[in-house]
A and B are shown apart, each in its own frame.
Chain A
Amino acid sequence: MDWDQFDLNPRTIAALKKADIKSVKEILNLSGADLQRLMKLSSADIQCLLKTVSHTLRRNCMLTALQLYQDKDHFTSQHQKLSLGCSVLDNLLKGGIPLVGITELAGESSAGKTQISLQLCLCVQYPYKYGGLESGAVYICTEDVFPSKRLQQLIDQQHKLRADVPAEIIQKIRFGNNIFVEQAADLDTFQQCITRRLSLLLARGMVQLVVIDSLAALFRCEFGPAQAALKARYLQSFGAQLHSLSTRYRTPIVCINQVWHQIASFSMGTVWVVGSRVTPALGITWSNQLLMRLMVSRMSLPGHSPGAASHSAGSMRTLSVVFAPHLPPSFCYYTVQLEGVKGVK
């Protein structure tokens, strides 16, 4: 750290160099008394030092809420969101997925989570005007193989799903080229993937969406109940790294999560009901890292067996907002068609 460029007393700079303090973080980590002892300066000098380094770190950081509201720039505005490719679903989410933060998509198996994520991987490649981010996506698989056949189907049918986009724009986008698939079957590989591969792709501006399918699979086998603290540390560390990448590169991170069934009895008025409730896996430690949680579920309609193919037009599914800072708890229906996921009014 080049202390000479700071607006400090030469005596303070000399003391910093002598005490071998290398970063602003080190200064802020030490208490006032420790700094006085280490640098042999008076408390007035130390206060001045703290204020100066804080100023340098936080120069021009203030915004008023009005400026945030009136900001219409693609690269900074909060109003910019990633569309899901369907106006009904976008209305539920008031525009789409927010660009900064971790969004979770939880649900039972074959409820449609992978379908929605594949659709997002295609939506992100459209121009800003059509709800995309003009960039690619990273899809991190942790257990299943990447559904490339289904992706190809979706690509072929994009003109049908996105009737709002002119055909020549759709033809110009090389969808398959911009989706990067990573496999990470255990925690260490996943850690490597986030710290190396992901940061590289994001830094080069090649992707503006990260899908992780799924985080719970990494933790299923390796952690027994006695290792709850270790599991929590991993989850917090991953959450913090993903959050930091999301903030730095303005990239939404969509995490697919599985659910646990809980048999519970709860009261509804004067009646007790024994039912099963689904809660997303990974517990409160993971929930604390999220900006927004969405849940998908599949209702088997009478006349259709629950094992019907996931692309059958008949089964109705619900996409619900469990929590989000800007959305009320609400839901809408959708179906999975050949061309993709479409909301039903």
Chain B
Amino acid sequence: MQREVGTLPLAPALRARLAAAGFQTAQELLDTGPCGLSKEIGISREEALEALQVVRQECHGDAARPAGGSGATRKYTALELLEEEQSQGFIITFCSALDNILGGGVQLSKITEICGAPGVGKTQLCMQLAVDVQIPECFGGVAGEAVFIDTEGSFMVDRVVDIAAACVQHCHLIAEAQQEEDHREALETFSLENILSHIYYFRCRDYTELLAQVYLLPEFLSEHSKVRLVVIDGIAFPFRHDFEDLSLRTRLLNGLAQQLIIIANDHKSAVVLTNQMTTRFGQSQSTLVPALGESWGHAATVRLIFHWDNSQRLATLYKSPSQKESTIAYHITSHGFRDVQPPAVTHSPEGPELNPRKRPRAEEEQQ
């Protein structure tokens, strides 16, 4: 009832008039009544009636909605936030090194961005996460479902089948080793068909379709409340051509980022975006940096950069509010995203380090 007039969902012109006339809270509006209102600010009776209806609905909504609903502001203490964060699950990636540097895995309620050159493994990780989010709780997963928004057409379902089959196999092995009742129960519903049926796939062919899809996401997530992961693969592709007006692009991207943050928070889902790399020409050399510009860098909470070092794939945690910057190596096998196996036998010779520019003498002697 003490809601300020400025926060009510009325047309801006109307709000301006109310402010000019000296109305400050919703209660004052309701007390004045439609006739008084129409006389004071010079609008028709119908408009005044409509405005009051909106105000009444809002106030009822505020009272009826439990504290913590979207739109109403609620105070949290830092301790409550800490407890909430600690009880939140992570989506594991099956690469323990990557999970470690992320602090347990891909975090729910946060936006994680994966940047990298083509072919380095961004889509593979997204497909892996779409499967891993469904792992039952008794195996350490979050038992959720996944939304996959594909803008590039790189979602190949055969590959997802391989990854899902390997994940099911992995869980079967754990269940056999541990022989617990709830494991066996969970495995009855954790099958290949089940996993595939809970990945909701949307194909967006340009940025307009992507914007429309993101507008519809909150409704979709309310209907499918078990969704815990939203993947957009990739966010850069539809925005990197046909934009003469870069300020429009920045505005649209910012709007998109805002909506995704709200979605991540309200529905306790992880949002994972993939981004391309572009060349930035410096003074003397050029470097690869994530695409979409500097302002986009603020959109994601966590940023991972995938890159190559000769033929080894590396992942660098570039931005995180809670973990330190570090780099790990990973592998992509036929089963999906995995750790690098430690070498079985070490070949390096004992003794002082060889000068890397000289071939070892042994080869010459053999010749």
The chain A residues found within 8 Å of chain B, CB to CB, are 24-25, 28-29, 31, 33, 36-37, 40-44, 50-51, 53-55, 57-58, 61-66, 68-69, 78-79, 94, 98, 100-101, 228, 233, 236-237, 239-240, 243-244, 246-248, 266-272, 283-285, 287-288, 290-291, 293, 322-323, 325-326, 328
Contacts and interface: CB of A to CB of B under 8 A. Distances in A.
Contacts of B360: 270-271
Contacts of B13: 40
Interface string B329-367: 000101000000000000110000110110110000000
B181 interface: no
Given A31-B255, A41-B11, A237 B242 contact: yes
Interface in B60-84: none
B117 interface: yes
B219 A270 contact: no
B241 A239 contact: yes
B177 interface: no
13 contacts: A31-B251, A51-B215, A53-B212, A61-B202, A64-B201, A65-B160, A66-B196, A78-B156, A244-B206, A248-B205, A284-B278, A285-B278, A288-B277
A272 B212 CA distance: 53
Contacts of B205: 244, 247-248
B279 interface: yes
Interface stretch (B29-37, B104-112, B147-155, B264-272): B147-155
A24 B208 contact: yes
Given A28-B208, A68-B201, A284-B278, A269 B357 contact: no
A119 B183 CA distance: 52
Contact of B11 (A40, A50, A326): A40
B12 interface: yes
Interface residues of B, number: 71
A248 B205 CA distance: 9
Given A62-B202, A78-B157, A326-B158, 7 more contacts: A57-B212, A68-B196, A240-B241, A244-B205, A268-B310, A284-B279, A291-B152
Given A270-B354, A284-B278, A287-B118, A51 B310 contact: no
Interface string B197-223: 111111101101101110110011000
Contact of B215 (A50, A79, A283, A288): A50
A308 B169 CA distance: 51
Contacts of B248: 29
A283 B278 CA distance: 10
Contacts of A247: 153, 205
B59 interface: no
Contacts of B252: 29
Contact of B118 (A55, A79, A284): A284
B9 A51 contact: no
Contacts, number: 167
Nearest to B357: A272
B201 A65 contact: yes
Q: Chain B interface mostly helix, strand, loop or mixed?
A: mixed
A80 B135 CA distance: 30
A61 B213 CA distance: 9
B314 interface: no
Nearest to B214: A54
A65 B356 contact: no
B200 A64 contact: yes
A326 to B, nearest CB: 4
A266 B309 CA distance: 10
A58 B213 contact: yes
A269 B347 contact: yes
Contact of A325 (B154, B197, B199): B154
Contact of B9 (A25, A44, A66, A285): A44
A40 B118 CA distance: 46
Given A61-B202, A69-B161, A272-B356, A42 B10 contact: yes
Interface string B310-341: 10000000000000000000001010000000
Contact of A64 (B159, B198, B236, B279): B198
A291 B154 contact: yes
Contact of A94 (B158, B208, B213): B158
Interface string B286-309: 001000000000000000000000
The CB with the most chain B CB atoms within 10 A, among A28, A79, A100, A285, is that of A28
B228 to A, nearest CB: 16
B240 interface: yes
B123 interface: yes
Nearest to A228: B281
A63 B9 contact: no
Contacts of B203: 61, 63
Interface string B95-129: 00000000000000000000001110001100000
Contact of B334 (A61, A65, A288, A328): A328
Contacts of A37: 12
B276 interface: yes
B54 interface: yes
Q: Which 3 A-B pairs have the closest CB atoms?
A: A323-B119, A326-B156, A54-B212
Contact of B240 (A29, A50, A236, A322): A236
The CB with the most chain B CB atoms within 10 A, among A29, A65, A101, is that of A65
Contact of B212 (A28, A43, A94): A28
A58 B208 CA distance: 10
Given A270-B356, A284-B118, A326-B158, A63 B201 contact: yes
A322 B117 CA distance: 13
B73 to A, nearest CB: 17
Nearest to B122: A325
B193 interface: yes
B113 to A, nearest CB: 16
B46 to A, nearest CB: 11
